[in-house]
Amino acid sequence: MLKNNILKIGVLLAILGFNNFAIAKEFSWINTRIPYNTTAKELAEKYYGDASDYKIIIEANKGVISKNGFVPKHTEIKIPVTEKFQDQPEVLGWN
């Protein structure tokens, strides 16, 4: 389903004059609300399988995540969809 949405974004951007599918991926992300205190490195490990990609998450959430990468409980953030992105199941009770 997520890849289907990315494809729709790519088609829309192509209609608007963007011809590179890679550009479409730069404009896509998922929104999630963090149910516990965590760090951008932990999120990068979870969503990308590589903690060293934490800067991608920090860059997408300027002003929300602190410079040291701390993400407070109940914060809503964007997780950019990259080549390494791994969709995570929603956990019941994350509100």
Q: Any idea where the domains of the chain sit in the sequence?
A: 29-80
Does this model's pTM top 0.85? My answer is no
Cα–Cα distance measured from residue 76 to residue 7, given in angstroms and rounded to the nearest whole number: 24
**By the 8 A CB rule, do 40 and 69 touch?**
yes
SS (H, E, C) 66-84: CCCCEECCCCEEEEECCCC
Cα–Cα distance measured from residue 89 to residue 22, given in angstroms and rounded to the nearest whole number: 25
**By the 8 A CB rule, do 29 and 55 touch?**
no
Q: What is the pLDDT of residue 66?
A: 87
Per-residue pLDDT tens, the chain, 95 aa: give them: 555 555 555 555 555 554 444 444 455 889 999 989 999 999 999 999 999 999 999 999 998 998 899 999 999 999 999 989 988 876 645 54
Q: Which two tokens stand for residue 94?
A: 């994350």
